[in-house]
Amino acid sequence: MRRFTLADLPDTIPVFPLPGALLLPRARLPLNIFEPRYLAMLEDALKTPERLIGMIQPMEGGKRLHQIGCVGRVTSFNETDDGRYIITLGGLCRFRVGAEHDGFTPYRRFQVDWGSFERDLGPPESDASFDREAFLKVLSRYFEVTQLSSDWDALKSADEELLINSLSILCPFEAEEKQALLEAPSLETRRETLVTLMEFALRGGTDGNLQ
């Protein structure tokens, strides 16, 4: 995928508020686009050389947004027979939202600040304290209770950033919990947050059915 620098990133981007949908730098997020306003957003993004869409968590009520999101580049797209688009976003860099642009687009556009997140555009992060065996033990229990399935051979050998970020995206956490994973300042902090959320779920903290 094309390498970006801060200078490549625009001051204004289209933003897609979607509860529970988490995008992280160097991770991939599949999306099913079908609402007319977001079809228009995608079509406009595809006309630009960067092909950028910002993902962000809306707050309760839907109008207000969290202050931090993550922008992704459309890396693949496929139009279905019924007019939907199946796309993949490749995560690039987190951003802090600024003023919303008034305009004629049916979707929302914001000024954004990338300054706090230049590290996102660098090479993959490492987690010096990562204990894969202990992590997978918690993950196995969480998957068993939530009835999720996975390729355990792949998990055992996956790069630690890919493993932690992919699980952060895929696990069925609440929107506020996804936001905490997004805002984690380092991979180690994200992994600690991820383990805390899994253990909380195992104790029945987020779902009364998890006993």
> With b meaning 16 or more CB within 10 Å and e meaning fewer, what string describes 126-138?
ebeeeeeeebeee
Phi–psi pair at 82, nearest 5 degrees: -95, 15
Summarised one tens digit per residue, pLDDT across range 151-206 is: 777 777 889 999 999 999 999 999 999 999 999 999 999 999 999 999 999 988 64
User: What is the 3-state composition of the chain as percent helix, strand, coil, each rounded to the nearest 5?
Assistant: 35, 25, 40
pLDDT at 150: 74
Task: Indicate the length of the chain as a whole number.
Answer: 211
Structure tokens at 172: 């069925």
What value does the mean pLDDT take over residues 116-123?
A: 94
pTM of the predicted protein model: 0.91
Collapse the DSSP code of 144 into the 3-class scheme (helix H, G, I; strand E, B; otherwise coil) and give the result: helix
Query: Is the pLDDT confidence value at 210 over 60?
Result: no
Structure tokens at 25: 């730098």
What value does the mean pLDDT take over residues 102-114?
A: 94
Query: Is the pLDDT confidence value at 211 over 70?
Result: no
